[in-house]
Amino acid sequence: ETQTLEGLNKYLKDLLEQSKQKKSKGVIRLTSSQEFNFIFMKTNELITKNFEHPKVAKITEIIQQERELNKKLKIIIFTQFRDTASIIARNINQLEGIKAKVFVGQAKKKDTGLSQKDQKKMIEEFSTGEINVLCATCIAEEGLDIPEVNAVIFYEPVASAIRTIQRT
């Protein structure tokens, strides 16, 4: 309900893969249920028809409006998941004058990530305006010297007041 359809589909595919590898009896039981298969088929169908969570379209609209008001905009979009950050960046990069990149922590298991050197380089690119939108996970909340921005967008509600303050 709160994330992207594409992210959900990727998660469901991961569960199916775990089931094939017989990693967990619970996962095997879940993926063999009619409800799971219905949801998996439905997400595939919606993705084929280019549907996505309406929040992605709303963020795109907000970014476009902000760009019209300020050609030198700098925006950070915070989201909980790397997949969501990637989907948002891909969508808003289609807008004229927008150069968005995904700002995440170091690699985890099978995911890709950014080294500290890559993170520092991306912050420099953001500072100079080479990048004007960062789609960031919680890694950008603490301990980084991020330059002044025009807007901060939270894709999900923030869980605590401290995290809200750290993000703004």
Given the structure tokens 């950050």, which residue do they identify?
85
Residues 6+ apart with CB under 8 A from 122: 101, 103, 114, 131, 134
pTM (2 d.p.):
0.80
- Burial class for 89, CB neighbours closer than 10 Å (0-12, 13-18, 19+): buried
How does the average pLDDT of the chain come out, rounded? 87
> pLDDT per residue over 53-65, tens digit each?
999 999 999 999 9
